[in-house]
Structure 1
Amino acid sequence: MTNSMRLEADYILETYIPPEQAAEIIAGEQSSGTFVAVPGETPELKALAAAKVESLETIATYNAVPALDGRYPTDAAMPLHQVRMTLSWPIATVGTSLPNILATVAGNLFELACVTGLRIVDIRFPPPFFQKYKGPAFGIEGTRELSGVRTGPMIGTIIKPSVGLTAEQTASLVQELVNGGIDFIKDDELQSDSSVCPFEDRVDRVMRVINEAAERTGKKTMYAFNLTGDMDEMRRRHDKLVSAGATCLMVSLNSVGMAGFVGLRSFSQLPIHAHRNGWGYLTRHRLLGWSYVAWQKIWRLAGADHMHVNGVDNKFSEDNESVIRSARECLTPISEDKPCLVMPVFSSGQTVRQAHATYAGLQSDDLIVTAGGGIVAHPKGPAAGVQALRDAYQAATSGESLESAARRSHELKLALESGA
């Protein structure tokens, strides 16, 4: 348990100097110290403001090329130390601002000369953060209520082609998907507002299709419109969505930043579908950046309702174990008082073939699966693609094999045969 008035973060540190010395350098750099002693940094000030090295646990010592480039000693036999390090900071001096906390736990420490590798693997917030930040306004329950999907995975897709369709063409595709009974649709992150497909025109045309279908059938498909932009643009776009009867918005986290996201959360009346595009540059190196365990916590606390977690057997570099661990984290409380549970969103090359492994790994039906080509490219069209994916996930959650389900679902059978 973290001290009630201190923020804690765990790291994997690689260094060529004694780990205890490296840890103290990092703690000083990220709080009251610098590269030399300065007037005013008294023992009393350090006691109030300095970061503390809470623990160091040796993982390994080895001779190898440093994980990261830098100005290091030229001795090829230089031993490297890898340790798990926990640092803490007093809230009295760092405050409870999430944007400022990012500068504290993920600031200049990465480029310190003694650091040959550094990765944030977890973060723990003291109670003042949960008192200040609202967390998700809708989360799992609110998303299910708005979409009308009370149980089971939410079957979704991404508009494909990602860009290039006009607003009218987008609405035409949405009509086919809605006719197929889809639960969730989202803009691609590359699509926001353009002369080819203006935001307001897209909203008007798409919501006309969705609203008319809802009046006929009682089912209102949730569409996450990408409103990523500057603050004034996001506010205008949000208000347009509300007036049109939309039930979700999407934002690119790394594009708007923490301050922009917190601002959006402060006025949003809709669930926030949080897209993590750009995540690779924060995590792909094994000893640099963030683990998803740590990273997703800050966005959940800030107010995300859905979080992307990649997908099983995806088209990117992430392995399945990491994907499932990320998804489970979204369903794991970050505080007893404020769990901040959010919908994990599976995407990236998803088809009917990943349904069983996804459900078996997650062991929960609280998920959104977004299959772009896996639905839109179905040989019988998008509506058949929706049915095929739904049949695959129904088989997975009921314990029926994919092959057995395909014998009674023509749409699923065609999907398997075509690879869609």
Structure 2
Amino acid sequence: MTDNRFEATYLIETPLDPARVAEVMAGEQSCGTFARVAGETDELRERARAIVTRIEELESVSEPSLPNAWLTRKGVGAPWRRARVAISFPVCNLGANLATLAAVVAGNLYDLGEVTGLRLESIALPWSYRQRFPLPAQGIAGTRRLTGAAKGPLVGSIIKPNVGLSAAQTADLVASLCEAGLDFIKDDEISADPVHAPLAERIPAVMAAVRRHQDKTGKHVMIAFNITDETDAMRRHADLVQREGGSCVMASLNWCGFSAIESLRRSTDLALHGHRNGYGAFSRHPLLGIGFQAYQVLWRLAGVDHMHVHGLQGKFAQEDEEVVTSARDCVTPLTDGADDRVMPAFSSGQWAGTAQATWDAIGHDDLLFMAGGGILAHPGGPKAGVASIRQAWAAVAKGTPIAEAARAHPELQQALDTFSGKAG
């Protein structure tokens, strides 16, 4: 990879020659079409055409992953050959344009007649191109500074019930969660600006509770207000959060879109908590969509500071290995040259008992560890729930088995007695 090109890798399935299909992909996403056209000179192709850089043929299968009317019309059938393909694209074709970058690496490729499966797996960028986009405004270091959590995982929770609480009731719950010792509290993704608790009321009410706690303890608890909306509304709500002394906002990335998140990033230095709800629609089929490495590259270019990765042994469909690799992607710099790491946010069925699996898998605690039921449903109350999680993480960091640590910590023992076999 050179300074003037970037590379994307794909998994494809086709009954045709994968090398031929790779050339179709390269042409379709740069200066070509199904036939050479007037004006498509050798000089233009040299400057603007994408180039196939690698092809690794994999196994063949007897049934296609997806239907394809184009191949049916042509009477082309088994075997369906699978291959991993890498394509290099000229930077000059798009410039610092994130929406167009996404269109180039994903776009019409999913509709190509030649394939019965196609998945964008990864994107690699040169530093000269990466630096055209913003680095995280806060990232891992800024999030730790804002919360005062210098070491260990940031322990967080989610407003529950998801919806239905008034602004005043939400503030009361936040006050109790602050008192419980949390570093981070977030809105649920389905609660943004509801009639019963509009952000114009909820933000001041919640932040008043946060300020009272900070005045009492010196601890600033980071609240991720869900401001998902159209762009101008998100900017207004972010401004209100800033005026009220807040430090974070949250947005549902897939439904706001790249342009809205980029505009929000340019208008505020608040930590931007990127919620990936809906990502399963892009990722769960193994021969369709976008793998997390490529997905998080695009959103990191948009300027997010935190990225959801789900959780180990959690309640969702992802295998633990996918959660682990996603977390590693978040803390891997996109290029040499700058610290553009973002904080992986673990959630979904997390509690004290999943700390060991998380530590064993990723080997560090630069992460946000969020538990809903694991805190709010702890029999000793939210404070005991938070304590149990901190006790578990302290144990695994020292190499002490959680069951052994629980003998000295009743909150942790209660969590093990209550949640073992239930979470996930």
TM-score by length of structure 1 reads 0.96
CA displacement at 1:36 relative to structure 2: 2.9
Secondary structure at the residue paired with 1:115?
Answer: coil
Code of the residue aligned with 1:198 in structure 2: it is P
1:16 alignment partner in structure 2 = 15
Counterparts of 1:253 and 1:63 in 2: how far apart (Å)? 35
RMSD of aligned alpha carbons = 1.5
Report if aligned partners of 1:156, 1:183 keep a CA contact under 8 Å in 2: yes
Flag structure 1 segments of 5+ consecutive residues without an equivalent: none
Deviates more, 1:71-80 or 1:225-234: 71-80
Count of aligned residue pairs for this structure pair: 418
1:31 alignment partner in structure 2 = 30
Code of the residue aligned with 1:54 in structure 2: it is T
CA displacement at 1:310 relative to structure 2: 0.7
Secondary structure at the residue paired with 1:137?
Answer: coil
Report if aligned partners of 2:159, 2:188 keep a CA contact under 8 Å in 1: yes
2:323 alignment partner in structure 1 = 323
Deviates more, 1:102-111 or 1:68-77: 68-77
Counterparts of 1:418 and 1:274 in 2: how far apart (Å)? 31
Query: Is 1:91 the counterpart of 2:116 in the alignment?
Result: no
Counterparts of 1:29 and 1:369 in 2: how far apart (Å)? 42
1:305 alignment partner in structure 2 = 305
Counterparts of 1:291 and 1:318 in 2: how far apart (Å)? 12
1:66 aligned residue (50, 64, 67): 64
Counterparts of 2:61 and 2:410 in 1: how far apart (Å)? 58
Secondary structure at the residue paired with 1:374?
Answer: helix
Code of the residue aligned with 1:368 in structure 2: it is L
Report if aligned partners of 2:10, 2:86 keep a CA contact under 8 Å in 1: yes
Counterparts of 2:14 and 2:405 in 1: how far apart (Å)? 53
Counterparts of 1:297 and 1:7 in 2: how far apart (Å)? 12
Counterparts of 1:129 and 1:188 in 2: how far apart (Å)? 35
Report if aligned partners of 2:248, 2:270 keep a CA contact under 8 Å in 1: yes
User: Residues 134 and 63 of structure 1: is their aligned pair in 2 closer, same or farther, counting only changes over 3 Å?
Assistant: closer
Report if aligned partners of 1:49, 1:90 keep a CA contact under 8 Å in 2: yes
Deviates more, 1:179-188 or 1:375-384: 375-384
Secondary structure at the residue paired with 1:39?
Answer: coil
Query: Is 1:6 the counterpart of 2:5 in the alignment?
Result: yes
- Percent identity, please: 44
Secondary structure at the residue paired with 1:369?
Answer: strand
CA displacement at 1:102 relative to structure 2: 0.3
User: Residues 414 and 273 of structure 1: is their aligned pair in 2 closer, same or farther, counting only changes over 3 Å?
Assistant: same
CA displacement at 1:77 relative to structure 2: 6.4
Secondary structure at the residue paired with 1:203?
Answer: helix
Counterparts of 1:85 and 1:50 in 2: how far apart (Å)? 16
Counterparts of 1:206 and 1:237 in 2: how far apart (Å)? 14
Code of the residue aligned with 2:314 in structure 1: it is N
Secondary structure at the residue paired with 2:13?
Answer: strand
2:198 alignment partner in structure 1 = 198
Report if aligned partners of 1:309, 1:323 keep a CA contact under 8 Å in 2: yes
Secondary structure at the residue paired with 1:185?
Answer: strand
Alignment of 1:199-348 (within 5 A): 199-348=199-348
Report if aligned partners of 1:96, 1:128 keep a CA contact under 8 Å in 2: no
User: Residues 26 and 235 of structure 1: is their aligned pair in 2 closer, same or farther, counting only changes over 3 Å?
Assistant: same
The C-alpha deviation readout for 1:97-131, integer Å capped at 9, x for no partner, is 11100000000011111111111111112334223
Flag structure 2 segments of 5+ consecutive residues without an equivalent: none
Report if aligned partners of 1:156, 1:184 keep a CA contact under 8 Å in 2: yes
CA displacement at 1:63 relative to structure 2: 3.7
Counterparts of 1:7 and 1:68 in 2: how far apart (Å)? 29
CA displacement at 1:381 relative to structure 2: 1.9
Counterparts of 2:257 and 2:280 in 1: how far apart (Å)? 16
TM-score by length of structure 2 reads 0.95
Secondary structure at the residue paired with 1:86?
Answer: strand
Secondary structure at the residue paired with 2:197?
Answer: coil
Counterparts of 2:293 and 2:150 in 1: how far apart (Å)? 27
1:44 alignment partner in structure 2 = 43
Deviates more, 1:214-223 or 1:166-175: 166-175
CA displacement at 1:279 relative to structure 2: 0.6
Secondary structure at the residue paired with 2:67?
Answer: coil
CA displacement at 1:287 relative to structure 2: 0.8
Report if aligned partners of 2:15, 2:76 keep a CA contact under 8 Å in 1: no
Counterparts of 1:337 and 1:159 in 2: how far apart (Å)? 38
Query: Is 1:54 the counterpart of 2:60 in the alignment?
Result: no
Code of the residue aligned with 1:399 in structure 2: it is G
